[in-house]
């Protein structure tokens, strides 16, 4: 008979195996058989612990996001009352660290990239529970900087421009590594990128204030 620890360990092994399989093959091509084989568990274990492949995938997305957001929160520990420019830098730096962090097994960045290219039914739930709060935070920062009367249409354009700059460095890494091999992604390099994106964005935002 499985103990509580056994159940917890089995569940975690499945999640770790699923992270690798989903990141490598995508949701549709990944199979429960591949995941169970990698986790070294019985084929019925996924249904027993998660219900089905879709629920396993959603659980993985949430757990992966929870871990990386805990490691790199959007305020990075800023004191209350920090200037909007400081808040924007912290938001951008934390965003870059979350998608470029090599120690996170690559799951978060790879899974998010696949979700953008091949959306699954889990995406709607993940957006509402995980991503929308981040975008709402960015909205708050921009409203503090630009004023509360900014239109939602303008706000959405500015948010998309800022986030798009961050995502560019993740998606273009294979090209960058060839065109600009000097571009590395150490903590110092990522901080430099965050500083550049922040200054570039603030320069543009100052033009429309």
Domain ranges of the chain: 4-51, 64-208
Write phi, then psi, for 180 (nearest 5 degrees): -135, 70
> What are 178-187's contacts with CB under 8 Å, separation 24+?
185/100, 185/102, 187/97
DSSP tag of 104? G
Determine the pLDDT at residue 122: 86
Asked if 170 and 113 touch (Cβ cutoff 8 Å), the reply is: yes
Q: Phi/psi class of residue 51: alpha, beta or left (left: φ > 0; alpha: ψ in -120 to 50)?
A: left
Per-residue pLDDT of the chain (209 residues; tens, 9 = 90+): 445 455 578 999 999 999 889 988 889 999 999 999 999 999 999 999 999 999 999 999 888 888 889 999 999 999 989 999 999 999 999 999 988 876 654 566 677 778 777 888 888 988 898 889 999 999 999 999 999 999 999 999 999 999 999 989 888 888 888 888 888 888 999 999 999 999 999 999 999 87
Determine the pLDDT at residue 91: 98
Determine the pLDDT at residue 68: 87
Record the tokens describing residue 189, joined without a space.
């390099």
Does domain 4-51 correspond to CATH entry 3.40.50.300? no
Determine the pLDDT at residue 103: 61
Which homologous superfamily is 64-208 in?
Answer: Tetracycline Repressor, domain 2 (1.10.357.10)
Asked if 85 and 202 touch (Cβ cutoff 8 Å), the reply is: yes
Q: What is the pTM of this model?
A: 0.86
């Amino acid at each position: 008979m499985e103990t509580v620890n056994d159940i917890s360990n089995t569940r975690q092994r499945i999640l770790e195996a699923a992270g690798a399989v989903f990141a490598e093959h995508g949701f549709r091509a990944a199979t429960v058989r591949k995941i169970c084989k990698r986790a070294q568990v019985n084929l019925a274990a996924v249904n027993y612990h998660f219900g089905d492949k879709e629920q396993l995938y959603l659980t993985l997305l949430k757990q992966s996001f929870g871990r990386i957001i805990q490691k790199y929160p959007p305020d990075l520990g800023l004191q209350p009352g920090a200037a909007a420019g400081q808040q924007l830098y912290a938001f951008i730096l934390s965003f870059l660290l979350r998608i470029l962090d090599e120690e996170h097994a690559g799951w978060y960045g790879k899974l998010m990239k696949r979700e953008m290219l091949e959306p699954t039914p889990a995406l709607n739930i993940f957006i509402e529970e995980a991503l929308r709060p981040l975008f709402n935070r960015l909205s708050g920062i921009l409203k503090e900087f630009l004023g509360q009367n900014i239109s939602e249409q303008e706000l959405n354009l500015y948010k998309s421009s800022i986030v798009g700059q961050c995502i560019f460095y993740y998606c273009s890494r294979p090209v960058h590594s060839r065109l600009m091999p000097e571009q590395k992604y150490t903590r110092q390099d990522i901080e430099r990128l965050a500083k550049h994106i922040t200054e570039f964005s603030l320069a543009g935002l100052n033009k429309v204030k």
